[in-house]
Structure 1
Amino acid sequence: MKKDVESTAGVTVVVTAIADDPADPPPPASSEDNLRAWLTVLGSALVYFASFGFTNSFGFFQDYYQTHYLPDQSPSTIAFIGTLQISLMYVVAPVAGALSDAYAGSLWQPFVFQVCVLWLVRTGLSFPQHHFDQHSNVSQGVLFGLVVAFNTQPALAVVGQHFKQRRALAMGLVSGGSSISGSGLPIMLSYLVPKIGFGWALRATALLMGCCYVVAMAISWTKEPPTPTKEPHTPTTEEAPEQPPAKAALAASSLLDFRGYKDPRYLVLAIGNFVATLGVYVPNYYIGSYALLRYPTASVHSYLLPALNGASFFGRVLGGYFADRTGRLNFLWPMTVLSGVLSLSLWLLEQNIGMIMAFALLYGFTSGVFISVTPAAVAQIVPDDKIGARVGAFFTLTAFATLMGSPIAGTLIDESSPDGYRNIILFTVGLLSLLPRRWANGC
């Protein structure tokens, strides 16, 4: 810092120039324009492709199990397998997120990647003799749900650390990885299963997932753990000067960080998300079987779920882009309600298979906005160093909604009637259309 003294007409002026002072650091470059940040987005998207995308593909397994392996089971019983894996993923999310906050990433991810791949290989080996039993149900619902949480939560949290202004767009791109997988995997499995069998099709899926995980680990970059946000009551008079382990111990002791629920904005958003989640996944599980019941000779029913997930990719990416510009909740609320309106106008009142396809595409887009923008909306109201833990705690409540929603809808199906899906459509419409406006205003 330099001071120059000038004298004009008897008036002394002190001019202070803030320049050329080596003590003044240069302005930091934006991490959002950093190649490493965008490579991390790509790596996290690959993680979502290989993990969450598999759960998005459960509609294929719903139809296949119901037709080949569990014809004597009700649709709601089979749907419980898929909802169980998503629910457990959300239940474990607070722990996975807190560990990610504490250790700047995922030291355990290589182990988790191997579990996912080995589960698919092991399940594939059990199918040549058509050995499908309750143990297989539990392994897919429980094991896969638990390990996926330790993939997806750190992948989302690390992207949240790299981005702030364009956080919704970045998270939308990451979430879009699961949409691409949810669109491509059912088509791939539908093609491979008749040719090489269900077991080998699962092993091919394991190979694809393994490649995604290896590339993701190679190109992802984690930031150092941010300085923990201090609570107002934390200052103490005497503290040890420097204790590196204390930082990790602090994070480890806060694995279940539910303090976000003290914030009314966080609480209102969580309740609204719970209500919407009860219905938002219902079309993903049942649109294929609905089309098969209504139009048994039409082959397009196997492409409805891929179409829905493919459109969801554009909803997640474009939704994130526009949410950053219009306000995340300003964009999230109308898109969620529009999902219910589409269920009423195109699904309930459909007259032909073309209307069902139109519903799948439009609903995929609007529900994709809901899925991708919600984590970004939560991240904007929590401290940066607690994104993983508090976004995870937020979705713990969502876990109960995913566990209950689709099985409840399955009990409403009457397969003996062409209109047997009317009740689950009304169930979906009610949950998505009746969200209070305060959900948007309260946050």
Structure 2
Amino acid sequence: MEVEAMGRPTETKSGLGMRSWLIVVAGFVINGLMFGTINSYSVIYFELQRVLKESGTIHASYKASLIGSLSVGTTLAFSPVAVILVDKLGHRVTALIGAFFAILGMFSSSYLTECVEALYLTYGVLFGLGVSLAFTPALAILGLHFKENLGIVSGFVNTGSAVFTIAIPPILKSMINDLGLNWALRIAACCMLLIPVVAIALKPPAKKAESSFPQEQNKRPLFNLEIWKSKKFIIWAIGAPFSLFGYLVAFVHIVKFASINFPDHDGKILVMCIGLATAFGRVFFGVMSDVKSIEKILLQQISFFAIGLLTILLVYASSWTVMIFIAFGLGFFDGCFMSLVGPIAYDMFAPEDASQAIGFLLGLCSIPLTVGPPVAGMLFDQSQSYDLPFFVAGVPTIVGSLILFAARCVKH
């Protein structure tokens, strides 16, 4: 590795070192365990919603979906904090702190499954905080080790969540049926002990570290406001969060929707289909983003528009086959967003600025991602139908994709 004048790392003629590939593997595992668990929340949601409804809880769907939304929202909301900790403590230490909070949140949740308010804090906030502090360093460090093929590398790392999303739902469902939700969460917490093991690999390139002066590092402001002078970034930071209001609604509610409309079929199969398609989508969009003639934001536009349209089309699904096709479509286009966040940020800014750009963007995305699924759950509680919730979720996602046209018209 060597560092260019602008701070961008490049591969040496001898190729990438073992450390760089260990970081890819570490990112794959961290992304897989953390987001694979988050993406499988629909299995937990279905069980919680059933328990709450049987106990006579008002707005059971809303309260159960809020727990999952809080975990996603907290994950993204603390991304700016995560990148600041990365600047001050380093990628490795930040990820280790995140692993501690994630394990603590999951394990404590296993003792509080009958108290939904407590789960807001333990599963929603504490676990989400841990995911943020563990995942953000694993994503931000990729641009320091890879210049060429950053898209495909980022896509492969983000494929971890897709692969784990395929495996976790049936295992989680089986554990809930055989052992109960309490023990299922405890076993999940034990599995996350692998995170601190692989997080040890998260270290910046040696020459990059040698060229950094501690006194200059300490003089850097906590918040890099220079990135907000980029009109292209501002448009991206408006359009992407707008699209994400309804982004997760289908993913959270699809199992419940299937149980109502297709009671003879197993809804978790749809989650597995989404995971399988997401794995392919992340590799596909990663490869496409490395094609210099293709603008990366255009790929995000297409994916947002498609997810919004497919969410609306769920209402008109007339057969299980159609549901399978929609699930594959949702998963495939879901493979675009997170895979391209890093490459787009590193296209706009130098590495020392890109990490905070990633953090700020994900922080802004936290609000709509948190609000969307509970709003859909509340609308369902009132109407006992998913027609309105899916329509309300799909429209903003489509509108947000259209907003991003402005970013393509601005020169950075």
TM-score scaled by structure 1? 0.82
Q: Give the match's secondary structure for 1:279.
A: coil
Find out whether 1:264 has 2:231 as its counterpart.
Answer: yes
Kept in 1, the 8 Å contact 2:28–2:160? The answer is: yes
Counterpart-to-counterpart distance in 2, 1:182 and 1:243: 39
Kept in 1, the 8 Å contact 2:99–2:195? The answer is: no
Find out whether 1:114 has 2:79 as its counterpart.
Answer: no
1:165 to 126, 143, 148: 148
In structure 1, the partner of 2:122 is 139
In structure 2, the partner of 1:320 is 286
In structure 2, the partner of 1:430 is 395
In structure 2, the partner of 1:360 is 327
1:306 to 272, 281, 286: 272
Counterpart-to-counterpart distance in 2, 1:152 and 1:225: 24
Kept in 1, the 8 Å contact 2:297–2:344? The answer is: yes
- 282-291 or 64-73: which moved more? 64-73
In structure 1, the partner of 2:68 is 82
Kept in 1, the 8 Å contact 2:95–2:196? The answer is: no
Deviations 1:376-429 (A, max 9, x none): 212210221122222101222111111222222222225765xx1111221232
Higher helix proportion = 2
Counterpart-to-counterpart distance in 1, 2:348 and 2:212: 30
Counterpart-to-counterpart distance in 1, 2:382 and 2:322: 21
- 103-112 or 301-310: which moved more? 103-112
Find out whether 1:421 has 2:375 as its counterpart.
Answer: no
In structure 1, the partner of 2:80 is 94
When residues 179 and 31 of structure 1 are mapped into structure 2, their CA distance, relative to the original with a 3 A threshold, is farther
2:307 to 339, 344, 354: 339
In structure 1, the partner of 2:3 is none
Deviations 1:267-300 (A, max 9, x none): 111111011111111111111111111122x232
Counterpart-to-counterpart distance in 1, 2:98 and 2:397: 34
Write the letter of the residue equivalent to 1:396.
G
Deviations 1:309-368 (A, max 9, x none): 2211211121111111123123222232122233344x1321112211210111110122
When residues 442 and 181 of structure 1 are mapped into structure 2, their CA distance, relative to the original with a 3 A threshold, is farther
Write the letter of the residue equivalent to 1:412.
L
CA RMSD of aligned residues (A): 2.6
When residues 428 and 249 of structure 1 are mapped into structure 2, their CA distance, relative to the original with a 3 A threshold, is same
In structure 2, the partner of 1:404 is 371
Counterpart-to-counterpart distance in 2, 1:324 and 1:174: 15
1:246 to 197, 204, 215: 215
Find out whether 1:379 has 2:331 as its counterpart.
Answer: no
Structure 1 residue runs without a partner (length 5+): 1-26, 229-241
When residues 85 and 328 of structure 1 are mapped into structure 2, their CA distance, relative to the original with a 3 A threshold, is same
> Could you say which structure has the larger radius of gyration?
1
Q: How many corresponding residue pairs?
A: 394
Q: Give the match's secondary structure for 2:132.
A: helix
When residues 341 and 223 of structure 1 are mapped into structure 2, their CA distance, relative to the original with a 3 A threshold, is same
Counterpart-to-counterpart distance in 2, 1:399 and 1:279: 12
Kept in 1, the 8 Å contact 2:11–2:146? The answer is: no
Q: Give the match's secondary structure for 2:224.
A: coil
Find out whether 1:350 has 2:336 as its counterpart.
Answer: no
Write the letter of the residue equivalent to 1:295.
F
When residues 217 and 433 of structure 1 are mapped into structure 2, their CA distance, relative to the original with a 3 A threshold, is closer
Write the letter of the residue equivalent to 1:364.
G
Q: Identity of aligned pairs, percent?
A: 22
In structure 1, the partner of 2:199 is 217
TM-aligned CA deviation for residue 307 of structure 1: 1.8
Kept in 2, the 8 Å contact 1:31–1:37? The answer is: no
Counterpart-to-counterpart distance in 1, 2:120 and 2:21: 37
Write the letter of the residue equivalent to 1:173.
F
When residues 209 and 357 of structure 1 are mapped into structure 2, their CA distance, relative to the original with a 3 A threshold, is same
Kept in 1, the 8 Å contact 2:78–2:129? The answer is: yes
Kept in 2, the 8 Å contact 1:100–1:157? The answer is: no
Find out whether 1:192 has 2:192 as its counterpart.
Answer: no
